[in-house]
Structure 1
Amino acid sequence: MVERAPNEKLRRLFHETEWTLRQFAQQANRVGTERGAPRRYSAQTVWTWLQGAVPREPESRSLIVETLARRLGRALTLADAGFPQPEDSAHKRTGSDVVGDLVELGRVHVDSSRRRVVGVGLFSVALAIPGWSDVIGRAQALQSNPHARIGQAEVDSVREMVTRLKHIDGDFGGQYARPIAATFLVDTVAPYLRASATGHIRKAMLSAAAMTCYLAGWTAVDEGLNGLAQRYYVKGLELAGAADDHMAYCHILRGVSVQAANLGYGVPAARYANAAAEAVPSAEPRLRAFMAGQQAHGYALSRARTEALDSLFETERAMSRATSPASNTPGGYNASTLAYHTAQVRYALGDVKGSVASLREHFKLRDALDSRRSAVIFGGLMAERQLEVGHLDEACGTWSDVLDAYPTLYSGRADDRVRAAVELLAPHRKNATARVTHERARALLAQKSAARPSV
């Protein structure tokens, strides 16, 4: 019988958590349930891991690492926990086959059954996000198809498609745009990356592909497929590095921060936002505001009050110096976005009334760059916070506007805001206005569920 050596790496992480064996097992079981794969780990199971036993299934090892990462607030790898890397290529770090990775991601996106969607849908704080030095120029040379050649026209067509998909996503939601973006990656972008091209065109197409991945990730976030979105974001970061496109890399990394912040993970949100801000290749004021506003939100969620307020002040100062059009800035950062970030910072720091005031300012400042979906989501947030400070009638009025715009949206995040309306208004149904708003929200959710597009 071979005697196992204790897993010292796992032991160190376990001691850092300050959990008991039973608490570790309970938390791992909870993560497993979230993933749709319930576990029945016990204190004895954890003890065997610490003694060197390696769970047979790669998914179990991943679950353990995710549990530890959530507790410790930082990304961890299998190696950090003393576990071997699986042989299955699906669990290897992507990057060795650019086109193959894109096709695999696209097919998961388009062909997923509901069971498979659940498997790729969960956010992981353990995900290792590659730094700029990890991705720049490191992609293997692409195998070219001698029978196909691309030029600037093909690059322009991909960029234009990304722009159009952004509008579809903002106007109708990720549940509409997601399948289109995935199919576009598989059927158009992947073959373009295989085609012959000059060095300049090759890099331009890699950059366009990176931003297509970013968009696909953003649409996946909107549908609630946060794990899949992370995979798209990582692939986008790698493609940006292969293209030597520093700006695309920073834009995508900021998107990773936005995703973490929207899910309430303040520490990783601040870390990703800081990394994006540090790596940004330009000090242009509006671009600086684009980065600093997200830093402020991440810091606020992390309860780092001083840093959050400092970053918010930096955002305001940068916006006061901005002269370039908002449309020239990634994300179209404008005065209404600054007001939204101010609202989020205030709310995270406990100033609910101030948050409502900032959201009102946001709606006064909105322009053509602001999407219909964001109006519904931010309006829902404002109504929830109006109710939180005791303004029931005002909240119902805001929710009424939200419900007017909701029927044509197919967005998981918009659905969440309407569900919140149903839950929060339920205790107030003795009020006639609240009862009408509550019943209307319930009916619209039921209609939306029946009319949801199949993908």
Structure 2
Amino acid sequence: MIDTGKQPNTLLAGVMKQAGATNKGLARRVRLLSEQDGGEPVRCDHVSVKRWLDGTTRQPHPRTCQLIARVLGEMLGRTVTLAEIGYAETAGEDDNDGGDIGLDYPEEVAQTVATLGAITDLELRTPKKAEPLTVVPQAWSDLVVRWLTDSDSDRSRPPAEPRRITFVDVEAVREATAMFSSFDYKYGGGRPKMLVASFLDQEVLPNIPHVSPHDPIGREYFREVAALTRLAGWTAYDTGAHGLAQRYLTQAFRLAKAAGDKPLCGRILAGMSHQANFLGHYQRAVDLARAASKGANGYATPTTMALFSAMEARALASLGREEEATAALLTAERWHGQGNRENDPEWIRYFDRAELHAEFAHCFRDLGNAELANHHAAASIRESESTYVRSLSFVRTVLATSHLQDGNLDEALYVARSVVKTAASLKSLRVVSYLDEFRSRLGAFSNDPLVRDFLDFATLHLPSKGAPVSRTLLVA
């Protein structure tokens, strides 16, 4: 299959480098395996491999792709997926469909780089009709164990072909993350999601295999790439692509670990806790938040530590453990009061007083305390900056729910209607899921004309089909 606009297969090259495979050696092994498995012998040599690598042959025959993956898997002592070597399009023709990719904690950071390439490839090039990746809850627990027991030092080998990196490269990634984050806050994850993946694919992946996290500039570069990859996971989460989000966040964690940035590692674990809680895995959400706090304590700023305690409180509130949730909220408030915005990394500066009030509101809503939920939701709205449109939508929905819990139906519907108007233009399925959850609470009032009118209005304006309803999603 010849492609005149040839593009090098950097994913295949990366995995071959990990396996120590030469062009001749790979060709020979593919030929031998094709003869041993009883199928039609594959005729390939070092020139064939060169064509696979430089993109002259965009994609070999599906069976050849499968043989390449099997050979490299045998050399590495692990499963190598078709997506991991740049042949995601053939995954449907084999049982090895990339479902497990991105969930392991790679010993070598070079493997993370290759895996990140495979994930972005899946996002950008997999047909929309393909089955979505599933969430694997055990992977969260496995990561917590690694985080709390692994050595602080990174044992990854330096790149085989180092390339000079500059502070301009670092700044480019940092500014891209800031720009895409602004889109995410204002317009929902659906706006920047593909832009983030494309930036990773086109600007980061060609560079990072040649960068070492062991030199100062390289470490900064890894830190910024980890923050951008975390954002890729967050935008996927916001659009309901939960399996994809889990994989991005796992690889972001590994990149942050390679950079030696414990606070950012904790931030990523806190994001995993947020997602686990949303999906109904409450105890795992508690574990992730506590692991973030324990592992980053002494390194993270007070504002960051406040976030970890807030995530713990959310999960405890979901479990109905009121005393523990309240204690965690007070800890979050105490940490937050010690914070200094000037000392905070860019990725935590959003967590202001308005966000802290929002966390209190969420927790008291789930604990059934309508009065305190209402108080903190209103305080959050008063203090919120206009940039955080999505966050305001969340907390206003919580406010609407607190009015409903307090028996104030008219006020609940008035606030919820205003959220529907905003959600109609936001590309955030999480916001839609909040409103769907609110609508589900209206069952007892189904005969009220005001409720019927609101439900008709919401149905007309909300893209509810396929929305990820909180705490009811199927996972592996």
Aligned mate of 1:308, from 302, 325, 349: 325
For 1:123 and 1:390, how far apart are their aligned partners in 2? 39
Q: What is the Cα-based RMSD across aligned positions, in Å?
A: 2.8
Aligned equivalent of 1:359:
377
Q: Secondary structure at the match of 1:149?
A: coil
Farther off after superposition, 300-309 or 172-181? 300-309
Alignment of 1:166-181 (within 5 A): 166-181=181-196
Tell me, yes or no, if the aligned pair for 2:273 and 2:311 is still in contact at 8 Å.
Answer: yes
For 2:393 and 2:195, how far apart are their aligned partners in 1? 23
Please say if 1:340 is aligned against 2:358.
Answer: yes
The verdict on how the C-alpha distance between 1:303 and 1:227 changes in structure 2, with shifts beyond 3 A counting, is same
> Deviation of residue 326 (structure 1)?
8.9
Please say if 1:274 is aligned against 2:290.
Answer: yes
Tell me, yes or no, if the aligned pair for 2:424 and 2:463 is still in contact at 8 Å.
Answer: no
- Which amino acid in 2 is paired with 1:384? T
> Deviation of residue 94 (structure 1)?
4.8
> Deviation of residue 139 (structure 1)?
5.8
Tell me, yes or no, if the aligned pair for 2:312 and 2:328 is still in contact at 8 Å.
Answer: yes
Aligned equivalent of 2:164:
149
Aligned equivalent of 1:218:
234
- Which amino acid in 2 is paired with 1:103? G
Alignment of 1:198-347 (within 5 A): 199-280=215-296, 281-282=298-299, 284-325=301-342, 328=345, 330-331=347-348, 332-347=350-365
Q: Secondary structure at the match of 1:409?
A: coil
> Deviation of residue 313 (structure 1)?
1.4
For 1:169 and 1:356, how far apart are their aligned partners in 2? 26
The verdict on how the C-alpha distance between 1:320 and 1:205 changes in structure 2, with shifts beyond 3 A counting, is closer
Please say if 1:414 is aligned against 2:449.
Answer: no
Please say if 1:103 is aligned against 2:145.
Answer: no
- Which amino acid in 2 is paired with 1:436? D
Q: Secondary structure at the match of 2:206?
A: helix
Deviations 1:204-246 (CA, angstroms, capped at 9, x unpaired): 1111111111111111110112122111111111111111112
For 2:280 and 2:211, how far apart are their aligned partners in 1? 44
For 1:163 and 1:246, how far apart are their aligned partners in 2? 20
TM-score of the aligned structures, taking structure 2 as reference length: 0.69
Farther off after superposition, 161-170 or 191-200? 191-200
> Deviation of residue 432 (structure 1)?
4.1
Tell me, yes or no, if the aligned pair for 2:161 and 2:210 is still in contact at 8 Å.
Answer: yes
Please say if 1:159 is aligned against 2:174.
Answer: yes
For 1:439 and 1:394, how far apart are their aligned partners in 2? 18
Higher helix share goes to which structure?
1
Tell me, yes or no, if the aligned pair for 1:174 and 1:219 is still in contact at 8 Å.
Answer: yes
Aligned mate of 1:122, from 122, 130, 135: 135
The verdict on how the C-alpha distance between 1:142 and 1:180 changes in structure 2, with shifts beyond 3 A counting, is farther
The verdict on how the C-alpha distance between 1:424 and 1:293 changes in structure 2, with shifts beyond 3 A counting, is closer
The verdict on how the C-alpha distance between 1:421 and 1:300 changes in structure 2, with shifts beyond 3 A counting, is closer
Aligned equivalent of 2:406:
389
The verdict on how the C-alpha distance between 1:305 and 1:329 changes in structure 2, with shifts beyond 3 A counting, is farther
Ranges in structure 1 where 5+ consecutive residues have no aligned partner: 1-84, 450-455
Question: % of aligned pairs identical?
Answer: 23
Deviations 1:107-141 (CA, angstroms, capped at 9, x unpaired): 111223344352x1435245421316537444633
Q: Secondary structure at the match of 2:320?
A: coil
- Which amino acid in 2 is paired with 1:158? V
The verdict on how the C-alpha distance between 1:365 and 1:326 changes in structure 2, with shifts beyond 3 A counting, is farther
For 1:305 and 1:427, how far apart are their aligned partners in 2? 26
Q: Secondary structure at the match of 2:217?
A: helix
- Which amino acid in 1 is paired with 2:137? S
Tell me, yes or no, if the aligned pair for 2:362 and 2:398 is still in contact at 8 Å.
Answer: no
The verdict on how the C-alpha distance between 1:323 and 1:249 changes in structure 2, with shifts beyond 3 A counting, is closer
Q: Secondary structure at the match of 1:367?
A: coil
Aligned equivalent of 1:400:
417
The verdict on how the C-alpha distance between 1:376 and 1:329 changes in structure 2, with shifts beyond 3 A counting, is same
The verdict on how the C-alpha distance between 1:393 and 1:156 changes in structure 2, with shifts beyond 3 A counting, is same
Aligned equivalent of 1:81:
none
Q: Secondary structure at the match of 1:210?
A: helix
The verdict on how the C-alpha distance between 1:448 and 1:310 changes in structure 2, with shifts beyond 3 A counting, is closer
Aligned equivalent of 2:206:
191
- Which amino acid in 1 is paired with 2:414? G
The verdict on how the C-alpha distance between 1:201 and 1:330 changes in structure 2, with shifts beyond 3 A counting, is same
Deviations 1:277-318 (CA, angstroms, capped at 9, x unpaired): 112243643333222222222222233333222221122223
- Which amino acid in 2 is paired with 1:167? S
Tell me, yes or no, if the aligned pair for 1:142 and 1:194 is still in contact at 8 Å.
Answer: no
The verdict on how the C-alpha distance between 1:322 and 1:239 changes in structure 2, with shifts beyond 3 A counting, is closer
- Which amino acid in 1 is paired with 2:121? R
> Deviation of residue 366 (structure 1)?
1.1
